Amino acid sequence: MSADRCALCGAQHTLTFHHLIPRSQHKNKWFRKNFDLTDMRERGIILCRSCHSFIHKQFSEKQLGREFNSLADLLANEAVQRHIIWAKKQAARSSIR
């Protein structure tokens, strides 16, 4: 997926950088033991505002860092898959108008 599209739904508007290991967890001992600081800072994906907000509402910061620290992990989650389907429908509706 290119940096000019959301890694989840493919939208091209209001793109943001999502840290796969949330910055709030970078000082946590478990994360420091399992990831180096550069990896924690740079590991991320481009998401549209809608998908980014959904991810942070759906999962805690600790869950995101431990269980969903890759795009593949996020895409494998059923709730994320449902959100992607919904987001793509919204994009299709807005392009019709």
Whole-number pLDDT of residue 94: 61
Is the pTM for the entire model greater than 0.75?
Answer: yes
Whole-number pLDDT of residue 97: 47
Kindly report the backbone phi and psi dihedral angles of residue 16, in degrees, each rounded to the nearest multiple of 5, phi listed first: -135, 160
Residue extents of the structural domains in the chain:
15-96
The residues near 41 (Cβ < 8 Å, ≥ 6 apart) are: 19, 23, 26
Q: Which residue has the tokens 């033991």?
A: 33
Instruction: Give the Å distances, CA to CA, from 73 to 1, 16, 56, 79, 80.
Output: 15, 19, 15, 12, 10
Per-residue pLDDT of the chain (97 residues; tens, 9 = 90+): 457 999 999 999 899 999 888 777 777 787 778 777 776 677 889 999 999 999 999 999 989 988 999 999 999 999 999 999 999 988 766 654 4
